[in-house]
Structure 1
Amino acid sequence: MENQPRGDVSRGSSSVTAQTVLGGAADAAEAASNSRVLDVVARWGFAVMALLHVVIGAIAVALVLGASGEAEPTGAIAQLAANPWGPAVMWSGFIGCAGLALWQLSEATLRARHLPRGERLSKLVSSGFLAIAYGSVGLTFANFALGVRSDSGDSTAAFSQDLLNRPLGAPLLIGLGLTVAGIGVYFIVKGLGKKFKEELRHFEGTHRGHLISGLGVAGHIAKGLALILTGLLFVVAAATNDPDSSTGLDGSLKALRDHPFGPYVLLAIGAGFIAYGAFALVRARFGRM
């Protein structure tokens, strides 16, 4: 048998060594992502998001009664920043959301690498999107702590305008809108199918578990509907070349008030957000990480 050329052997050995080093680094990073510290901080992030959903739901209900407010994360954070402990609450929220974003990022990459290819791609999209979303909320907390505030509707419209001014901007904005709406559909399917029970088995089979399950169903459906409305506004903005149409969650919910049964739908979504917040609070304490 002929000997393999020394150059090929050297390159093959280098490739195996590189793969071994990268694999070891990924294993070490995954072990770090499973640390007790990150677990606690990520759970705190879930609790922060739960509180934001409750506040957003309360603002949505108040809108039906004629009150003012912004029914989206920025508006909810503004409400929390108004209390005497505002700066401490803001930095605490930032830390929790940053930890939760990091945990979701590890879910999308480090832990997903052990899954089959199809599930890996699905996890990359879902957890990757959540990592970006939680990171964005964390930055909003940090901005409020530093005294930098902005209207989310204006920010969303400005983002849409900037995207529409770029090559292929309209298709990209439509793709973004359909992605957000698709995640909304995912939340509804997850709620109706009670698939969230995979994340929370602590109370399964108990009377308390039935109540938590009901909160989970109502909350996931309400959040899904809100995301679908938000995503459709991106699509409308791209189709009509009117970036002002994409006003984010607050604008999509306020637009419901102008329709015949809109206030009732808005009231239901607001109540659903409060239910989701209550469910998420239980998830923060007892959920599987």
Structure 2
Amino acid sequence: MRSRRRRKPEGVRAWTAMAARAGYGARGFVYLSVGLLMLASASGLGGQTLGSQGVAPWLASQPFGRLWLILLGLGLWAFVAWRVLQAVWDADHEGRDWRGAATRLGQAVSGLVYALLAAGVFELLDEVGPRMAAEDIAENQAKAAILLGLPFGDIVLMLVGLVVLGVGVGNIVTGLRVDFGEALSCSEHWRRRLCLLARVGYTVRGAAYLPLGVFVLIAGWHARAAEVRSFGSSLEAIRQQPGGGWLVGVTALGFIAFGAFAFIEARFRRIRPPKTLSLG
């Protein structure tokens, strides 16, 4: 009886670690795909498709495309579960001081973002089509219109824009300051080289969020939902500027670096599931 009790927690921890690694792999697949699609678009090979919404149509057009989408959605939900363990049960042992609390808050926000992305993947199973980008913008603008219709809706929309900007700045700071090698179980020789991917990926990803945050902030300031854009259309707006193709290309390389490092985390990250799921 005692041996069974010991095996059960170990089994749960093993499955938790496996789910976390699957989640990191799914995140890597998303960003690597987005980066490649953006790179193709910036070089004139991929049409006008930019941003994370381009992944679903591309996947759907591949053999067993719907199966790919289902597996991607399940992987993202696994990553969301891992973020919950990190944020609520401190799986990474960040502690309860202000730095640890800030890190866990960031993990919670990240979990929420990936939960929305995972839910969107399953929603897209019945909606994938050539007009998806336009529908994505229209949906965001409809949500913005609802916010603007509420009391102080313009202020709420501006706060949303500030949150997006904050996420972008937070990623840039993370990329510049965090020692990513601490969480990798590989030699010091490889840690130094692999961490460069993380620094480039996080910094560029943070910079890519800034245009979207500015669009939402301006929309709230002017109280016009029509100014709200999707992430892909924000990148498209950048591409239309002088030298914008180069900027989008650099962003694409940063996303590829971020996705590649997520695959590295799926293999080498130290996964330390909490021994108990107690809130105390």
TM range (shorter): 0.7 to 0.9
C-alpha separation in 2, matches of 1:264 and 1:33:
49
Match of 1:28 in 2: none
Quote the sequence identity (%): 23
State the match for 2:161 in structure 1: 177
Partner of 2:186, secondary structure, is coil
Aligned residues of 1:156 and 1:247 also touching (Cα < 8 A): yes
Partner of 2:266: 284
Name the structure 1 match of 2:175.
191
Counterpart position of 1:264: 246
CA-to-aligned-CA distance 1:221-255 (integer Å, 9 cap, x gap) = 11010112221211011112222222121011111
Which amino acid is the alignment partner of residue 163 of structure 1? L
Is contact 1:180–1:230 with CA below 8 Å preserved after alignment? yes
User: Offset of 1:124 from its aligned partner?
Assistant: 4.4
CA distance in 2, matches of 1:240, 1:126: 29
Match of 2:4 in 1: none
1:20 corresponds to: none
Matches within 5 A, 1:148-163: 148-149=127-128, 150=132, 151-163=135-147
The correspondence for 2:56, drawn from 60, 66, 77, is: 77
Q: What CA deviation, in whole Å up to 9, does each residue of 1:166-208 have, x standing for no partner?
A: 11222222112111211211211221224323332524x21x4
Could you tell me how far apart the structure 1 residues matched to 2:127 and 2:82 are?
26
**Alignment RMSD, CA only?**
2.4
Q: Secondary structure of the residue that 1:51 maps to in structure 2? A: helix
Whole-angstrom distance in 1 between the partners of 2:65 and 2:113: 22
Q: 2:43 touches 2:245 (CA, 8 Å); kept in 1?
A: no
**Aligned pair count?**
256
The corresponding residue for 2:215 is: 233
- DSSP 3-state at the match of 2:124: helix
Structure-1-length-normalised TM-score: 0.80
Pair 1:221 & 2:203 matched = yes
Please say if 1:93 is aligned against 2:36.
no
* Residue segments in structure 2 that go unaligned for 5+ positions in a row: 1-8, 272-280
User: Contact between 2:34 and 2:50, CA under 8 Å: does it hold in 1?
Assistant: yes
Letter in structure 2 aligned against 1:181: L
Query: Greater relative contact order: 1 or 2 (C-alpha under 8 angstroms, separation 6 or more)?
Result: 2
Q: Secondary structure at the match of 1:108?
A: helix
Rg (Cα) greater in structure: 1
Could you tell me which runs of 5 or more consecutive residues in structure 1 were left unpaired when the two chains were aligned: 1-30
Residue type of the partner of 1:47? Answer: G
Q: 1:1-289 to 2 correspondence within 5 Å?
A: 35-66=13-44, 67-111=46-90, 115-119=95-99, 121-145=101-125, 147-149=126-128, 150=132, 151-203=135-187, 205-206=188-189, 208-289=190-271
Length-normalised TM-score, structure 2: 0.83
Change (3 A) 1:162 1:199: farther
